[in-house]
Amino acid sequence: MYSYALLEPGCYYLVQEKEDDKLTLLQVKVISDHCMYVEKYTETVLQEWKRKTDSIFDIVELLSDDAVKEWTTAYYKNEDAYYEEDDDE
């Protein structure tokens, strides 16, 4: 069992928060004395504060810069599919 305290700011991690959970991609944005502000990437981006002592079942992987670049391209390309252009102009 791991905790959020092990995660570094600015890095992207694939984690499994609970034993039966799906994998979640998250990025640490801000670290305070006792907490961390993280963004979780699912269908939408969820932003939340976590205590450094909050548990993580497994830290599966720290994504490389190349993997983050590839994921960013794929994620935001898919996100654009939800927005249709206005043809009324």
Residue type present at position 39: E
pLDDT bin (cut points 50, 70, 90) of residue 73 is: confident
* CATH code reported for the domain at 2-80: 2.30.30
CB atoms within 10 A of CB 81: 7
pLDDT in tens, 13-62: 999 999 999 999 999 999 999 999 999 998 889 999 999 999 999 999 99
Q: Measured between alpha carbons, how far is 51 from 54 in angstroms, rounded to an integer?
A: 5
The confidence score (pLDDT) of residue 35 equals: 97
Domain limits of the chain? 2-80
pLDDT bin (cut points 50, 70, 90) of residue 79 is: low
Angle, vertex CA 48, rays to CA 1 and CA 72, nearest 5: 90
pLDDT of 7 > 90? The answer is yes
pLDDT of 87 > 70? The answer is no
